Structure 1
Amino acid sequence: MVALALTPPSAERLRAVDGFLTEAWADQARHDERLRALAVEVRFDRGVAHLTGEVDEPEQLRMLRDRVGRLAGVYGVWCRVRVGGRDPVVVDLGCGATKQWPGNLGLDIFPAAGVDALADLSGSLPLADDSVDVLFAVHILEHLIDFLPLVDECHRVLRPGGVLHVMSPWWGHVNAVADPTHVRLLDVQTIKGVCLMRPPGTPRWHPLHAATDGASIFADLTPLDPDAAAPTPSHLARFFD
């Protein structure tokens, strides 16, 4: 049997990496006047960048996300940023009693303290087309035998430029199989399949970020219009084999 080569970083190393990322971002922001002018806070937690604050234009947020995501050691870029004075609509799918951020709209099949509306995530989401800016699917996809209908629903409800944040156990870590309610194994290459290997006519995604820390996989996806150009090979090479 071949041993898995990927070992999750220790909590001590993750704290050290967060410190490095904080210093690296501060240095980058000092030397880029586009970033200095933005009223946005960037905080790193175990390799995930959390963006809060406000920008004037959607293009500024896209640029900011891209700059943060290019830092080595970032696994995902999670945003709750006001654009043009409007608060983003953020939805937690399968949130249970704990939301990723207070104030998110929480959907779950079971009632709990953090649940604002009941929804079976294997069916249609009780959300209008183009009505959501950010969707969190944290430890959700591994519980669904077929998660593609949910991914398609996410595409339907996200506004142009919206983002789906995915986090799930990596297939090679014990957490992927320790929970008997997990019915799927996932890898970063699974995200490649979602973005590039769907039949013609199905919703298309552009990967903003995809990574694994050896315990979990992370992906930030934004919807693509049917007529939009596919991601370039150089962009895809950042994330996928």
Structure 2
Amino acid sequence: MVVLTPSSPSATRLRAVDDFLGDAYADLVKHDDRLRDTAVEVRFDRGVAHLTGDVADAAELLLVRQLVGRLDGVFAVWSRVRVGGRAPVVLDLGCGPAKQYPDNLGFDLRVARGVHAQADLSRSLPVADDSVDVIFTVHILEHLIDFLSLVDECHRILRPGGVLHVMSPWWGHVNAVADPTHVRLLDVQTIKGICQRPPGTPRWYPLHAGCDGASIFADLTPLGVDDPDPSASHMARFFD
């Protein structure tokens, strides 16, 4: 019996999609008055939108994120945008020597170039509550037996409106099982489970979630105690 699994897009196709997305965003800025005066620049790399620049407030940044995220072919929206003149505090967890952006604050169990602090990601993070704007967990969750404890810690240290970026191998791709240090298999539906945990646990709102055939992506923002749950229509955009 031959089992066929989805294949990830080729590098050639991904470059072509990035070109399409660049043109689509330029057209969006041209025709949408809400974006005409924005000082945010958007660069697309293998379907990930990288936002830089300045906005007046968090509401403007959220609007740009939402509009970019609606473009077909975008898997995630990563931001280093200054809000009200303040640069974001960005943590890169388990980064080793390869941070997602050079000026991120690197946390890792082992000392390496670019690592600012040693931290065991299976334990409490040495970071104050509500003190971080962006957290990267790129190829991290699949290495943790109990990754929910780390997700809860991210919820604790993120400011309201902050974003947790998740990227992990998709369970159906060979990369998910080729590394013997991987102890968990993840799917986009795993992100749905994170966003629909029982009452009394930290809650998340999915800004974006997707899969490119090799990796899953998710951009999550923490919900407060009094914030409403994501609507069924919003959840249906990303999840079965």
Which residue matches 1:203? 202
* CA deviation profile, 1:182-205 (whole Å, cap 9, x unmatched): 000000000000001x22100000
Deviation at residue 3 of structure 1 after TM alignment:
2.7
> Could you tell me how far apart the structure 1 residues matched to 2:36 and 2:237 are?
26
Contact between 1:4 and 1:172, CA under 8 Å: does it hold in 2? Answer: no
In 2, Cα distance between the equivalents of 1:19 and 1:75? 15
Which amino acid letter does the alignment assign opposite residue 21 of structure 1? L
Counterpart CA distance in 1 for 2:7 and 2:29 is: 32
Q: Secondary structure, in 3 states, of the residue corresponding to 1:133?
A: strand
Q: CA 1:110–1:70 in structure 2 vs 1: closer, same or farther (change >3 Å)? A: same
- Aligned residue pairs, count: 240
Secondary structure at the residue paired with 2:12? helix
The offset of 1:232, in angstroms, is: 0.8
| Equivalent runs, 1:132-143 vs 2, <5 Å | 132-143=132-143
Q: TM-score, normalised by structure 1?
A: 0.98
The Cα shift of 1:5 comes to 4.3
The SS at the match of 2:115 is: coil
Aligned with 2:238: secondary structure?
A: coil
Quote the Cα distance in structure 2 between the aligned partners of 1:89 and 1:159.
10
Q: Following the alignment from structure 1 to structure 2, what is the Cα–Cα distance between the partners of residues 146 and 111?
A: 23
Q: Deviations over 1:162-185 (max 9, x none)?
A: 000000000000000000000000
Provide the rounded CA distance (Å) in 2 between the counterparts of 1:221 and 1:4: 31
Task: Trace 1:1-241 onto structure 2 (pairs within 5 A).
Answer: 3-196=3-196, 198-241=197-240
Aligned counterparts of 1:226 and 1:33: Cα–Cα separation in 2: 34
Whether contact under 8 Å (2:5, 2:172) holds in the other structure is no
Gaps of 5+ in 1: none
Give the distance between the partners of 2:119 and 2:84, measured in 1 at CA: 31
User: What amino acid is the match of 2:27?
Assistant: D
Greater mean alpha carbon deviation, residues 2-11 or residues 45-54: 2-11
- Kept after mapping to 2: 8 A contact 1:163/1:223: yes
CA contact (8 A) 1:54 1:83 kept: yes
Question: How far does the alpha carbon of each residue in 1:117-159 deviate from its partner, in whole angstroms, 9 at most, with x for none?
Answer: 0000000011100000000000000000010000000000000
User: Which shows bigger deviation, 231-240 or 133-142?
Assistant: 231-240
- 1:87: how far off? 0.5
User: Residue type matched to 2:158 in 1?
Assistant: L
**Structure 2 counterpart SS, 1:231:** coil
Per the TM alignment, residue 114 of structure 1 is displaced from its structure 2 partner at its CA by 1.5
| Counterpart Cα distance in 1 of 2:229 and 2:102 | 35
SS of residue paired to 1:15: helix
Provide structure 2 residue ranges, at least 5 long, that are not aligned to the other structure: none
Distance apart, 1:33 and its partner CA: 1.8
In structure 2, C-alpha distance between the alignment counterparts of 1:192 and 1:142, rounded to whole Å = 16
